[in-house]
Every structure is written in structure tokens, then in C-alpha cells.
Structure 1
């Protein structure tokens, strides 16, 4: 674990979550928000964990749902070199612009304090997070099967009995290794699906039935989320889509909005009196002519147009 990097004035200062680079769609914002709120209603203890942060979009969202006394840990390679050639190649291809400095600047735009940052391979996270201490974990660190499989096993040991794990890119065609690792965990590692969106898989090693029942009741009450229930290996799985649905509450930026007015320095009465006021805006001759042509009767308008044409001819 390394110390925070000094913030740079040259880095962008996002005023809205939508300005932070990354892929975190409405359906998953709604699911993150619902699961975390439900855990709070049920007084579910535990911390938050994210493996793979990119520019911090989902981390910022998670940080806004962090409760007092909880710990939020983010693990990512950031600028560190990967230890194997295949992982290094994937890092260069997918995350060429990723830096820890950019992540910290984005996160600090919304939160005063940074999360606990572990800079390194996600395989080291178990050295920094206590077993059975995490209630919600988001895995998005690698697209390679062997790494994702290891991340799933690590998170299983870190989750509480009723903890929830989220797998990103579980069905994307460019990273079949994630799909293989996810469904292998369902078939062989005891992971039980709760629901899926177009981009993320939500599961638990606890009992998914109470979560699914509460989730279906919430979806029905909202009325703006499409869903269906399918069965995978004789177990229910909620599939949902949130096109056109209302977004959950967004984290508030600490920076002034781009359209906000900047206060001007106070002027002394003498200086205000000495400075001439703004000149009144007077319409130009062409503008007056346009207005006249618009409001005069058609017969008069035609006469004016003919007169102007004759004047130009001379």
C-alpha cells in the first residue's frame, strides 16, 4: 500500500459523475444503490471492496454509499507494471490512459477522503482485507480467465455470510475469460446468482431468495424497470433492463458547476461611480428594416422591397 499522490491542478475537475470516464450504466447504478440500501435496512455489517477501478466512476458511486465506521478498499495496478506478459499486454490495450493520479483526482472531486488504496495485482488483496469483512465487492480487475478465477476465490473468502459480489463484463464478447470464470464459479464454487444486467452479474454465497424477493417487490413498485425471471440449473435468476428508468441519486461534486457564476471582487462606491455604465444596445438599421418588413401590411412591404432594389441598381 502506498501513500496518496499529490493532487495536480492540471487534471480535470469533474462536476458530475457523468464527466468521469468509464462504463457504469443506469441499470448497474440502480442495482448498486438498491443492494447497498437494502443491506443498510437489514443492518448488514461489513465493508466495501472494488478490484479494478479505472478512472473511479463506480468507486465514486460506492464511496457515496459508505457508512460511518466502514472501510472502502480499492485495489488496482494503476501505473505499476504487471508481473506477466499476458496481463501487461491486456493492460496496455484496455487501460493505456489509466493512472493513479487521475483516479485520485476524480475521487477527490466528490469525496474529501480517499478510500484505502492497494496498488498492485488483485491477488494481493487478501493481504490487506480481513476474511469475512466485506458486504459488497465489485470485481473488474482483469479480463483474463486465470486472474478473474483467482479474484472470485479471493472475494469468496472476504465476503460476509450474506455478502454480494458483482462481476463486470460477464458476457462481453471481447473477454470470454470473465464469462468462463463467472459461470464456473456458479457450477463448481457455490456462487448463487441473484440477478444480471446487460453488463454485470450479481451473486452471493449466501441465500439469494430473500434478496430476489425484495428486489422483485422494489422493481414492481418502481414500474420503470423491465425484468423477467429465468431459471439456471433449476435456480431463479432475475434479468433486468433499465432503459429510460430514473437514475438513483448521484454523488455531489465538490467543485463548482461549469455554469455557475464566479463572484466578482467588491467595488468601492467611488470606483463604481467613475466607471461608465454599459452602453444601451441599439438595433442596427438592417434589424429595423427586418422588423418593418415583418409588421407592415403586404402592399407596403412590396413597395419597400421594390424601392430598395431600385436604390441598389443606382
Structure 2
């Protein structure tokens, strides 16, 4: 039965959170849970988890870094009888080291609470997963049995040393053909993740299977069954693109959102641009381009959260 472990609480392992004044409001839809787990990766998770079940691959699911539960709720959807979901996150606890604590304060501290995660998860599932409220490094103590997991999602610290440790935890936890998914492997603000991921590929035997703009999917087992399962789906019909690359002699798929064609200009706008003097036309186009850039820009000076 799922339970709750805590590094900072004496709550019994089998207890459920009691109602409390000012408790977080339960979301009506999974999409209402705050987070940065978007449709592209949601579909990849659903497809790969379902393919594992259809192939008879059993095992637990592990998530390192859960934020407010958007991905954990989806992972819980795919648990089968006898399988367990474990999530490990600091939530509102202290990080324990200065660099990690600084990252938490910058990106998550104001919004991330365990109560929020629990309320979100229980809005869609009857009981909580096993919760380890602590730095993900505690999982190196062997509490996750070796080879017990079929799927591990790593989305915790962005610091190289921490990510390297999380990848090692995932490697030991995964069954022979289990999958690991690593977030933020290519973001500009997370070079430590990139370094740890590609080090695992080139020196640690991790085989890439699928790349999306946000996540790296890989295995220490045989990548071909995963590749075949991915190619069995008609992704373009659902608004995605599928491409193939070769990395160090190994084929890897890339999944992305299809680019929508630019909207055709209206006849009146096109006529106006044609009638204006060239200098005025250039000024109008510069103004329109600046307006589009302002609308599409992200707030400056922020670190994109996990």
C-alpha cells in the first residue's frame, strides 16, 4: 500500500493528510496543476508507460523532483496492481547545502509545498504515493530496491553533482529494460544537467532513445523495443513531428510539435503595404515585428523552473 515517508516529520507512514484550514484548492483537471510538463511529453509518457504494460514489463515507478504533482498524477494513472509510485522532493524543507538551497529559493520556494502536492494528487487518486521529503541524494542508501523500477523520471536539481547522483540512483533502480527520463537536458540555464546527461551517455552506458525539446529518454537496456513502440504510433496525425538522428553510432528519435503555417495576410493589409511608400512600409513592418517579439518574449531575468 502506498505510504508517506518524511525526513522532517513523525507522521505515520500509512496516514493520509487531514483537512486543515486554508487547505489548497483541489484542481478540477490535471491541466490545472501548476507546472512545466507539457502535452508533448505527457503524450510520450502515456505512450511509453502503456507500451511497457502491454509488453508485460512490470515494476515500480520513481520520480525525483515532483513540484506540485502534474507529472506524478499522470504516472499514478499508469500504476498496475502491485506496483508502487515513489516521489522524492524537498517540497518546503531546507535543501541542506548552500548551492541547492539557492536554486530552490530562486525558482520554487514561494510556491512549492507538500500540502499543495498532496491536495493535487489526491484530487485524482484515492491515496498518496510513497513520499520521501528529502534531498534526492538520500535515495542512494538503497531504500529503492535495485532493479525494482520500470520507469524513472528525474526532474530535481539542475546542479551537475546532484544530477549525476540522480542518474546513478536511476541506473540502480531500473530493471534491465527500464526507462529513465531526464528533464532540462538542453536548456541554456541548466548546463549542469547537460553535462551529467551526456557524460552518462558517453561513459556510463546510457542509450538515448527519444529526445524532445524538454526531456531526454534513455535506457541502459535494449533501446530497439522502445524505438519500435514509438514508431508504431502515427505522431504526425496528432500534430507532432518525428525525426531521426544518429549519436555515436546509435539511432535516436526526436519528437516535437509540428510548426503551424503562418497565417495568410488579409487582403486589406496586403493592399495597404503595397500602396505605402517603401520607407513607410519598412517602418510598419518593423513595428509589427517588434510587437510580435514583445508578445512572444518570456519574462527576463528568470530561471525557467523544473
| Rounded Cα–Cα distance in structure 1 between residues aligned with 2:94 and 2:152 | 24
| Rounded Cα–Cα distance in structure 1 between residues aligned with 2:256 and 2:99 | 34
Partner of 2:174: 159
Q: CA deviation at 1:5?
A: 3.8
| Rounded Cα–Cα distance in structure 1 between residues aligned with 2:75 and 2:258 | 22
Q: Structure 1: which 4+ aligned runs deviate by more than 4 Å?
A: 220-223
> Could you list the per-position Cα deviations for residues 140-183 of structure 1 after superposition, in whole angstroms to 9, with x for gaps in the alignment?
01010000000001110000000000000111111110111111
Instruction: Kindly indicate whether residue 175 of structure 2 is the aligned counterpart of residue 175 of structure 1.
Output: no
> Could you list the per-position Cα deviations for residues 35-68 of structure 1 after superposition, in whole angstroms to 9, with x for gaps in the alignment?
1100011100110000001010000111111111
The counterpart of 1:121, out of the listed 113, 135, 138, is 135
| Rounded Cα–Cα distance in structure 2 between residues aligned with 1:195 and 1:165 | 11
> Could you list the per-position Cα deviations for residues 211-244 of structure 1 after superposition, in whole angstroms to 9, with x for gaps in the alignment?
1122112136855321110111111110011358
Q: Could you state the TM-score of these two structures normalised by the residue count of structure 2?
A: 0.77
The higher radius of gyration belongs to: 1
| Rounded Cα–Cα distance in structure 2 between residues aligned with 1:137 and 1:222 | 28
Partner of 2:76: 63
Mapping of residues 1-314 of structure 1, within 5 Å: 1-2=5-6, 3=11, 4-8=16-20, 10=22, 11-96=24-109, 97-126=111-140, 127-219=142-234, 222=237, 224-243=239-258
**8 A Cα contact 2:235 2:242, kept in partner:** no
Partner of 2:290: none
| Rounded Cα–Cα distance in structure 1 between residues aligned with 2:258 and 2:218 | 22
| Rounded Cα–Cα distance in structure 1 between residues aligned with 2:17 and 2:232 | 44
Q: Secondary structure at the match of 1:219?
A: coil
Question: What is the RMSD of the two structures over their aligned residues, measured on CA atoms?
Answer: 1.7
Q: Could you state the TM-score of these two structures normalised by the residue count of structure 1?
A: 0.75
> Could you list the per-position Cα deviations for residues 78-114 of structure 1 after superposition, in whole angstroms to 9, with x for gaps in the alignment?
1211111001000111111211111001111111100
Task: List runs of 5+ in structure 1 lacking aligned partners.
Answer: 246-314
| Rounded Cα–Cα distance in structure 1 between residues aligned with 2:153 and 2:26 | 25
**8 A Cα contact 2:60 2:84, kept in partner:** yes
Task: List runs of 5+ in structure 2 lacking aligned partners.
Answer: 261-306
